[in-house]
Amino acid sequence: MVPETRAPRLLVADDQRDVLETLRILLRPEGWEVTSVTSPEKAVDAVAEGDFDVALVDLNYTRDTTSGKEGLDLLAKLRALDATLPVVVMTAWGSIDLAVQALNRGARDFVQKPWENERLLAILRTQKDLSRALRNGERLAEENRILRETDTPGLVADSPAMKPVLELLARVGPSDANVLVTGENGTGKGVVAQALHALSSRSDKPLVTVNVGGLSEGVFESELFGHVKGAFTDARADRVGRFELADQGTLFLDEIANVPLAQQARLLRVLETGEFERVGSSRTKKSDVRIVSATNSDLEVEVSAGRFRRDLLFRLNTVEIALPPLRERKSDVPLLAMFFLDRVSVRYRKRFDGFTEDAMKALLAHAWPGNVRELSHTVERAVLMARGKRIDLPDLGLRATAAPTPADTSPPSVEDMELEDVEKLLIRKALSRTNGNVRQAAEFLGLSRSALYRRLARYGIASSNDEE
């Protein structure tokens, strides 16, 4: 956690101006920013308008100098305004009973006038530290709550096509069985991996995700198994690999079909024995992980073509979960659309009452070649473009598309492709023209080499030649 560097802010409430001045003189050299008020009403106004680390308030004011009632009432009001604000009370009468009453009503500590400077400073420092720790804790808890509600994908499914998937999840999730998740791009394979992890006995341990298809052969072993300092030119320090990070938890291997054949044997050995060595080290390490992998390829076809090891496939697909495309679960479209609308609305701090009838009809009629991911992006765009309280048809920006059929083997035109698909097509063409030379392909595309590498990793495109 990054420490607070701003000056601590103290609110002092006392009807005696000499007391206020004395405290100001005492506290300013200690780095405190002091705001002084002379009445309970002004103290309430100050807290309502600004943030303070600590409030130091007198219990007795001009209208009543003995009972402490005004101070106790002020304490209640300050607590109602900001429950995290520590209030330290002062009294000149030395009444233990009154101090106990204040503590019972939420005061954090008390001092008796005339105070001891060192004790007062120690109390204020302690309460300031506690206040900041409490507020940071609440802030982090709120951020985590928002992340859970807005950034964590949800498995939204009620259609007949998804019932077998849900049944498999319920049956397989609590086990340690390796699971292969298959389906078209954008069908939610990563969401299923999260659901499997959440249902397992490993849910309190890490879920580590790695796009193995986006790793070049040169970094594959380092990313998965780690390396030691000096193992290769850029190995300036020891690095922990993904298998170690996921120990006792779940390792999600995305785009598993794109793992280079030369690396599949190494991966198979780790899956069989749980043992591996960091690059540059002969020391054997062990890791206990559950493997969930995903692909949009037909691995049986890849095996038949000699591009994927059959023994590795056996290790990965103890259970296979096949996700249907969104066009085969149209009854889930309204549920998913509302889910994404609620999530994105929170992120962009906008409120909507749902979709118009025309908009919902268009969502149901659309072919969704990009599946759930495309629907999510469509709703996000609509939230940004919408001017009314309901998402309308023009806000969606949908283009007419047809669902792919087995007989339809012609490639789509650029005009009908999503932006990401166009970019992937251009990258593949550039690599083809340069025989896989990343530097030349980057120059051809007008990109830096590092920018092209990031796109290769994102889209799972393998490159084999980076020579000058």
CATH topology of domain 417-459: Arc Repressor Mutant, subunit A (1.10.10)
Torsion region of 159: left, alpha or beta (phi above 0 gives left; psi -120 to 50 gives alpha): beta
- Topology of domain 327-396 in CATH is Helicase, Ruva Protein; domain 3 (1.10.8)
Burial of 136 (0-12, 13-18, 19+ CB in 10 A): middle
Q: What is the pLDDT of residues 309-340, one digit of tens each?
A: 999 999 999 999 999 999 999 999 999 999 99
Q: Where does CATH 1.10.8.60 sit in the chain?
A: 327-396
| 319: helix, strand or coil | strand
For helices 419-433 and 449-459, what crossing angle results, to 10°?
120
Per the CB < 8 A criterion, the answer to whether 404 and 412 are in contact is no
Give, for all 468 residues of the chain, the pLDDT tens digit.
Answer: 334 557 899 999 998 888 999 999 999 999 999 999 999 999 999 988 888 999 999 888 865 566 778 888 999 999 888 878 899 998 775 567 777 888 888 888 888 888 889 999 999 999 888 877 776 665 555 444 444 443 334 578 889 999 999 999 999 999 999 999 999 999 999 999 999 999 999 998 889 999 988 887 778 888 899 888 888 877 788 788 899 889 999 999 999 998 888 889 989 999 999 999 888 888 888 899 999 999 999 999 999 999 999 999 999 999 999 999 999 999 999 999 999 999 899 888 888 989 999 999 999 999 999 999 999 999 999 999 998 899 999 999 987 554 444 434 445 555 456 666 777 788 888 787 777 788 888 777 777 777 777 778 777 776 655 544
Residue count of the chain, please give it. Answer: 468
Q: How far apart are CA 456 and CA 216, in angstroms?
A: 9
- Tell the CATH topology of 9-148: Rossmann fold (3.40.50)
HEC string of 155-221? CCCCCHHHHHHHHHHHHHCCCCCCEEEECCCCCCHHHHHHHHHHHCCCCCCCEEEEEHHHCCHHHHH
What CATH class does 160-324 carry?
alpha beta
pLDDT digits (tens, 9 = 90+) for 380-437: 999 999 988 999 999 999 875 544 444 344 455 554 566 667 777 888 887 877 777 8
Region(s) of the chain under CATH 3.40.50.300: 160-324
Residue 230 backbone zone (phi > 0: left; psi -120 to 50: alpha; other: beta): left
Enter the pTM of the model. Answer: 0.55
